[in-house]
Structures are given as C-alpha cells and as structure tokens.
A and B are shown apart, each in its own frame.
Chain A
Amino acid sequence: MTFTRRTLLAAASAAAILAQPFAASAADLPKNIRMVIGSTSTGGDTYQAASIVADALSEKLGANIKVDAVGAVNGFKALERDSRGTTIMLFHDFAYLAELYGGKGFVNPFEAFTVGATIANNPGNAYLVGANSPYQTMEDILTAAENGERVRVAIQPGGVSEIGFSAMKNAAKVRAPGSEENIVPVNTGSQSDKNQAMWDGLADVINGSIQANEQFTQLDGDDQKAMRFVWITASPETLAEAPEAGMGKLTRDGMLDYASPATSVTLDGTQDFTFDKEFFLIFNKDMDPALIDTIDGALAEIYDEGEIQKKETAAFFTPNFRPSAEAREHLMEKRETYKKVIAEISG
C-alpha cells in the first residue's frame, strides 16, 4: 500500500506548516503525541470522534498524533504517567460517571486530571421497547411502575447506559415515591446482549442507540426483532444540531418526538432530565497550561474553519466545541446533576 495514513498525513501537515501561521506559535507542543481513548474498540464512536479530532489537530499543529484504543483503565494510567503533554486522552461522560456509580478503580477526573475542551456529542443514546409492547411511551412505563407493574430495563451497568435508567427510576420516585422499586435493571453487556435480552423475553425496555437500533424500528410488527423507540435522552438543543434527514426513516423531527420536552422524564417535577453523550479531552494534572491553551487555540481555529463539523455530522456526531475552561464548568455542572439523581435513587 502506498497510501498510508502517514503519507497522507505528512503531505497534509507539510501543507499546513506552509499555509498556517499557527504552526509557528505551537512549536512548544510535542511533535509526537499519543491520544489514548477510553474504549478498547477501534470501530466504536469514541475512536471515531478521536480520529476526527486527531486528524484535524495533526494538520493544524504539524504534529503527529496517534489514537490508541487502550480502554478507560489503561488510558487513565497512561495519562497519569506522562505530564509532558505527549499523552492526552479523549473520552466521554463515562470518565466521571464510572466514579459516581462506584466503579472499581475509578476516581473523579475533575480532581485527578485536568478536563479540557469538549468536541462533539453523540446524540444517539435511546431506550426502546418491543414492537408489540403494551408500552407506547415513557409515560406508560412510568404509570405502569406506579401501578405496581415490574418493568425490566436492559442496560450495561456503571456508565452511559445506566444513567438513563437511573433517570427513569428517579422520575418514578418523583411521580410516586416507592414506584421506583418497580423499575428493575437487567444487567447485560454489549448492544447485542441487550437486544437479545429483549428477544428472549428477559427485558421489557432496552437501552440502545439511534445508530444501532433504528432499522429494527422499521421492521414489521410481527417480526420478533421489531422494536419501537420510547425515549431519546439527548437534549433538544443537541438534536437541533443533528442532520435534518436524521438516520434511516427517523427524521430529526421524528427524533424530537422521543426527546424532551415531547417525551418527558422528569428530573425534579419541573425540569426534564436529559443526557448528551459528550466527548472531551482530558490532560495530566501537571501538564503545562500553556500547552492546553495551544490545543484550545488550535481547536478554536479548526471549528472556525467549519470543515470538522461536516465530518462530525456525517458520522452522526453533533459538533459542540467548548474551550477548556468553559467545558470544565459545563461538565462539572452536569456531574453534579447526575450525582444528585444517583444519590436520590440509591438513598
């Protein structure tokens, strides 16, 4: 193969050095950077989000950035060991949710590390029921719980997949204290396990995503595999950024029907609970703040140019760049909200 990523990258970065005044001021940033991600899959959304931003940053900074899918535990370890800025991390809300859910070995990233810029959302987090389910809406599900019906929800415990489930329990508690006991988890693993739990009749509701499950909602009702969306956890602001055509047969307007405010899972009786799966950078605690500023500056230019947004949208991400300081504040606030939800239902 003559078209390696490196050659393409080298050509691109050479062009970038010639064309961009920015490259000169970024001289203090290491030339070889390793971007570890919190997922071990190189086919998943974290890897895609990371490679989009890594490619853009490489070009902008004239540096060589490799994305390594080492997983959460090993990613944090690698980040801990390197304060020179040669290792940076990209991850999503799991980074702090894992600690909130008491995940073994996880710490609060806002204390142990420096949280940096947000770069994109994956708006796809959703909950589904079987096509023949008696539940049409979240309202039905919460009412059923109120009436003493046990509703089993298939999730992967301890992170992004569980937070929506926690919110359901919380909403049930707000509506009718005690009814949250009727919303029970079915602890499974991957998406395939969650689907299978529904097909085996072990779960009434499953956690899924627009990307992975939309086609199942297009199937005929008599097909065992057919499903229906009941809830999309993303905020209406995030969904507004999604492509208008949506995904498959589900248009953006269609998505909004399953999301707040049309589909309401209440947070405290007045506000709706929403969850956007956000991707953001994490740095070593002792990394030189000037380097973080350099990265922020480069990202700001990249997002100003507007090319990266097209790439992100094409891969069904919604771009949401926030520089480090702003991102940190936003994410800490988010963490506080979820901390309360989790405390409510376990306390």
Chain B
Amino acid sequence: MGNLTHVTIDFDSSHLIFPALTGCILGLLGLAILIRDRRAILASGAHWRRILGETDKMRFFGTLALTVLYFSAMVPVGDIWPNTGMGFLLCSIPLVALSGLLFMRDRTLRKTVPLMIVAVAAPLLVWWLFTDLFFLTLP
C-alpha cells in the first residue's frame, strides 16, 4: 500500500506535473464529449452556416476590425510623445466615435451629436483622471 501511493517529485521537472495531469483529464473529458455529442459535432457545419447567416456581418466584423486597429495604433501613436498617454487619448476618440456610429441603428443627427460629444469628452476625462490624477502609465 505504502509503495503504491508513494511519489517522488523532482523539483527541476515539477513544472510539468500539473499541466500533464490537467491535460490528461481534459483529453478524457473531451473524448467523452466527442462520443456523447458525436451527432451534433458532425452536424456542426450547418450550425456554423446558420450562425454566420444570422450574423450582422457589418457590425460584428466591423467591431473586430476597429478593435484590432485601435490596439495596433495605440503604441506607435503614443511613442511620438512618450509616457504622456497621448496614444490612448488620440486613438480612443476616433474609436468611440466610429464604433458608436457602427453600433447605431438609423443614424440621425439628433443621435449623432451626443455620441460625438461623448467621443471627445469621455476619453479626455478618463485620460486626465488616470495620467494626471492617478499618475498611471497609459500607452
């Protein structure tokens, strides 16, 4: 009994024990799901076609594209004025404005004006709060 439960751990390779253990459990669970839900998984092509068909493509992919653009632009823009948080400020204003317009249904002037005010005011307020008042680093 004592020998069965006995384990020796080599510290130098101890970083692999838990990942291996979790990986095995994950594999078994995955297998169980595959077996149980095999029909649904085989039919998943239709599932995805339906999802894609129902997706508001412009808004969904537009959001993704804007987000990627926003994240990518922040650091290069911020590097022009190092450690001032300008990258965040100058990228957030167009992001809020553009994604707001993207999300808006029937774009009327009456709806656009408040959005534009928020697009300028919110990043400005947040930027001031975090860089000036709280003294944190922004890109």
Residues of chain A at the chain B interface (Cβ within 8 Å): 1, 4-6, 30, 32-34, 64, 66, 68, 82, 84, 86-87, 157, 187
Contact = CB atoms under 8 A, between A and B. Distances in A.
8 contacts: A1-B133, A4-B133, A6-B135, A32-B82, A33-B83, A34-B137, A66-B83, A68-B137
Interface string B70-90: 000000000001111000000
A66 B136 CA distance: 7
Nearest to A9: B135
A5 B137 CA distance: 14
A86 to B, nearest CB: 4
Contacts of A34: 82-83, 137
Interface in B107-139: 132-137
A82 B78 CA distance: 13
A82 B137 contact: no
B11 interface: yes
Contacts of B133: 1, 4, 6
Contacts of A84: 82
A68 B139 CA distance: 13
A154 to B, nearest CB: 13
Contacts of B132: 4, 6
B81 to A, nearest CB: 8
Interface in B77-106: 81-84
Contact of B135 (A5, A82, A86, A187): A5
Contacts of A86: 82-83
Contacts of A32: 81-84
Enumerate the 5 nearest inter-chain pairs by beta-carbon distance, A residue then B residue, closest first: A32-B83, A86-B82, A34-B83, A5-B135, A4-B133
B11 A30 contact: no
A4 B83 CA distance: 18
A71 to B, nearest CB: 14
A36 to B, nearest CB: 9
A343 B137 CA distance: 41
Nearest to A30: B82
A5 B82 CA distance: 20
B11, B81, B83, B132: residue with the most chain A Cβ atoms closer than 10 Å = B83
Contacts of B84: 32
